[in-house]
Amino acid sequence: MDYSSVNVEQAVLQFYQNPSLQSDVHIWLTGAQISPAAWTFCWELMEATKSVEVQFYGASCLHVKIVRFWHEISPEQFEPLKSKLLEAIVQFSSGPKVILTRLCVGLSALILQLLPDDWPNAIQNLITTFQNEGFASLSTVTRCQTLLEILTVLPEEFFSTNLSHLRRTILRQELTKGLEHVVPLLQSLLTEQSPLEVYQTALRAFARWVDFGLPIDRAETVIRFVFQALHNPQLFDIAVDSLVSVFAHPEAYRLVVESNMEKFKVGAGKGRRL
């Protein structure tokens, strides 16, 4: 089967333009997506001259390959793949949004494959990369938005991906350690000085990372900002969702309860001595 980028592009366009052939074309495109050739043609389909439909298929192919066919590439290809994916994310940082999000999902899948041995401290490294290195062509707001988009979809990818129990445990530990860097970042962005769109995206990211069991006392400052967002009609719904995620998660208040129980025991002990 000739899965060249030209043939795949024509098939994608035919899928959207000819409903009577969609079933057959879908089967063919599925075969293309899982073929080894997809590692190559996915990038060609994401060129700036391609239609959004073709670009989206290319980005989706890349995600499928990373999640399901990781065994097809060698360790020597890990770093070039990471660099190329980051470059593509920068390329689409100004849109179309649907392509940017799909690429961020792909990067999230890559992080889950590389942690912890092949990309140690991935979360910290990612934040540093967007804050201090390269990307000079992007505005500060665009860099913030792009980084926050990655941080928003990363927890979603972790919780939706099929993983073995051991692998999920290892990744959860690594991502939980990432909270040490994610929370201060969100705290720095959830301020009155931040543009509305940055504040909104930061709230969404915060709600996703709470799923890892963030103790309330550890994120007290961020939670205070979230409460303040309730006064803004444009932020209200997102703020409510974030607070529900915080207070509905059992791990969020476990350490606070344990701390108060210790205080209660101390107080009770003093009472007995009296």
Per-residue pLDDT reduced to its tens digit, 86-138: 999 999 999 999 999 999 999 999 999 999 999 999 999 999 999 875 677 88
Asked if the structure places residue 8 within a domain, the reply is no
Contacts of 155-161 with CB under 8 Å at 24 or more apart are: 155/208, 155/209, 155/211, 155/212, 156/105, 156/108, 156/208, 157/105, 157/108, 157/109, 157/112, 158/108, 158/112, 159/211, 161/67, 161/109, 161/112
Q: How do residues 237-258 score in pLDDT, each as one tens digit? A: 999 988 888 888 776 555 444 4
Asked if the structure places residue 68 within a domain, the reply is no
Query: What's the mean pLDDT in 44-60?
Result: 98
Say what the pLDDT of residue 252 is. 57
Element at 103 (helix H, strand E): helix 97-114
Say what the pLDDT of residue 160 is. 96
164 burial type by CB count under 10 A (0-12 exposed, 13-18 middle, 19+ buried): exposed
Residue 29 near residue 8 (C-beta atoms within 8 A): yes
Residue 26, both tokens:
């879908």
Asked if the structure places residue 6 within a domain, the reply is no
The pLDDT of residue 271 is above 60: no
Say what the pLDDT of residue 220 is. 85
Q: Please report which confidence band the pLDDT of residue 48 belongs to, taking 50, 70 and 90 as the band edges.
A: very high
Asked if the structure places residue 30 within a domain, the reply is no
Asked if the structure places residue 19 within a domain, the reply is no
Q: Please report which confidence band the pLDDT of residue 268 belongs to, taking 50, 70 and 90 as the band edges.
A: very low
The structural domain count of the chain equals 1
Q: Which domain holds residue 82?
A: 74-273
Q: How do residues 133-177 score in pLDDT, each as one tens digit? A: 567 788 999 999 999 999 999 999 999 999 999 999 999 999 999
Asked if the structure places residue 172 within a domain, the reply is yes
C-beta atoms surrounding 264 within 10 Å: 10
Model confidence pTM above 0.75? yes
Asked if the structure places residue 191 within a domain, the reply is yes
Say what the pLDDT of residue 249 is. 73
The pLDDT of residue 261 is above 50: no
CA gyration radius, the chain:
22
CATH number at residue 212: 1.25.10
Asked if the structure places residue 79 within a domain, the reply is yes
Say what the pLDDT of residue 30 is. 96
The amino acid that residue 164 corresponds to is: S
CA 147/CA 188 separation, integer angstroms: 14
Q: Which of 3-12, 218-227, 257-266 has the highest mean pLDDT?
A: 3-12
Residue 73, both tokens:
């590439």
Say what the pLDDT of residue 133 is. 58
Look at residues 165, 229, 238 and name the one whose alpha carbon lies nearest to residue 192. 229
